[in-house]
Structure formats: structure tokens, C-alpha cells
Homo-oligomer: A and B are copies of this chain.
Amino acid sequence: MAHSDQPAMELRRLSFRYPNGRLALEEITCAVPQGDRVAIVGPSGAGKSTLLMHLNGLLPSPSLSKDEEAQVVIEGQAVTRSRLQQIRRQVGFLFQDPDDQLFCPTVQEDVAFGPLNLGLNRAEVLVRVERGLAAVGMADCLTRNPSELSTGERKRVCLAGILACDPSILVLDEPTSNLDPRARRQLLHILREFAGTLIVATHDLDFVIDLCSRVLVLESGKVQADGPTERVLSDPLIMDRHGLEVPWRLRR
């Protein structure tokens, strides 16, 4: 469906103001080619989560209702109200806070929620649930209540829920927070295997080095730097100015 010459994701002068008047994004323009792995870094409150939520049409942006002036374009399609359902099938979104994402009474139901809504049959859904949970090492928690899991376990269930939908673009908001080192390594492994486009917002710069080829630095809602991972992350000027730190591995 998507032509490989189209960017997987394109932002066109995307701005967003929260109802309380705070301008969280200001005229962001950029494009991510198909299959790329891009990291978005920046200090707290930079607007990373706000940006990512736009990729899935989760925030009530006025541009959602205007077809011509689309500010977010996914695989060549403008993100508008009428196309939201279609686009959410393509884009798997991991919330920063697992509590925002989990709402079913059991782990199994929660992971099955997406696939069921894709219209798959029961057998297929069960296979996907099992695969998803196995990938994050939570296969033995099928019948547990998500609110009785530890934070890291919940985070992993969220991931399983996304993976089970088999999206072509993965949008992950702070995927490694509250994960233990082993789970983090597993996640790295899963994401490296993933063939589609990947957009990750994170504070874990080591993870970025291991995974992404390109880094966007965001601060106060604007893109402040954009370039290959090693170059951006090893530049002490950029890093210092935007609340970041050159990772140990890149220090000379």
C-alpha cells in the first residue's frame, strides 16, 4: 500500500497548543523515510510525548479536521479524523506511562484488545497474544490483573500489546523507563529485528546509540538539532545546551 519512496512519517509545520494555553510544539517540520530508526531526545517538557501523540491522532489538534492543511502525514496519508482508524492500525503507539495504556482486567485481554479490533479470528488472536507476551518474557502472566503487576512488568505488557498488532510503524515513548537491564536488552533485540519504521522518544542515550541511526533534539517544542546519532550525541555543545549529556561510550 505504501510506496517506499514516500516518507513513513512527515511533519509539516506542526504546532500544538494545549487547552491551558501552553504552546508545546512550534512549527516542527521533518520527514522520516521508510525503515529508518529515529530517536527523539530532549529535556523533560520538551514536547516529545506531545509530538509522538500527534502521529496517532491522539490529541485534539485543529488540523485533524482540515484535509488540505494536514500537518501530519503517515505513509503518504494525511492524519485526519476520517482516516484515524486506518492510521492507528499502521502506527503502534507505546504510551510513556503504562497506566495510560492498560485498561483491561487481565493481561491476556489487554494484549488481545488490539488484534481483536483488527478483526482477526480468535485462534489468530491467541497466537498473537502468546507471541507478544513471549517476546517480552511475560508468557506466564496471562490471567493476572495488570494493576497487580510491578511497574516494569506493566511496561512489558504494554509492549506486548503493541507488538501483537503488528504495526508497520512503531512509535515508542520512553520504552526503557522502569525496565530492568535484561528486559532492556531483549527490547533492543526485538526492535533491531523489527523491519518497519521506528520512532523512539527517550532519555536513555545508550539505547539510542545501540538502536538508532538518526537523532532529533527537541527543546521547547522546536527541533534544535537533527543528524546521525554519533555526531549529534558526541557533540558536547549540543548536548549541554539541551539538558543532555554525552554518553560515557562516546566520550574521548
A43 to B42, CA, bound (A): 27
Is A151 a contact of B44 with CB atoms below 8 Å? Answer: yes
Indicate which residue in B42, B150, B249 contacts A180 across the interface (CB closer than 8 Å).
B42
State whether A181 and B243 are in contact (beta carbons under 8 Å apart), knowing that A18-B148, A151-B174 are contacts in the complex: yes
State whether A44 and B205 are in contact (beta carbons under 8 Å apart), knowing that A178-B96, A178-B174 are contacts in the complex: no
Count A-side interface residues using an 8 Å CB cutoff: 40
A239 to B180, CA, bound (A): 11
Of all chain B residues, which has the CB nearest A152? B44
The answer to whether A45 has its CB under 8 Å from any CB of chain B is yes
Residues on the B chain within 8 Å of A49, using CB: 150-151
What's the nearest-Cβ distance from chain B to residue A26, in Å?
A: 16
Of all chain B residues, which has the CB nearest A50? B150
Is B97 a contact of A151 with CB atoms below 8 Å? Answer: yes
Indicate which residue in B44, B156, B180 contacts A244 across the interface (CB closer than 8 Å).
B180
The answer to whether A106 has its CB under 8 Å from any CB of chain B is no
Residues on the B chain within 8 Å of A22, using CB: 148
Is A44 a contact of B183 with CB atoms below 8 Å? Answer: yes
What's the nearest-Cβ distance from chain B to residue A247, in Å?
A: 9
Residues in chain A within 8 A of chain B (CB atoms): 18, 20, 22, 42-46, 49, 96-97, 99, 145, 148-153, 155-156, 174, 177-185, 203, 205-206, 239, 243-245, 248-249
Q: Which 6 A-B pairs have the closest CB atoms?
A: A44-B152, A182-B243, A181-B245, A177-B177, A43-B180, A45-B150
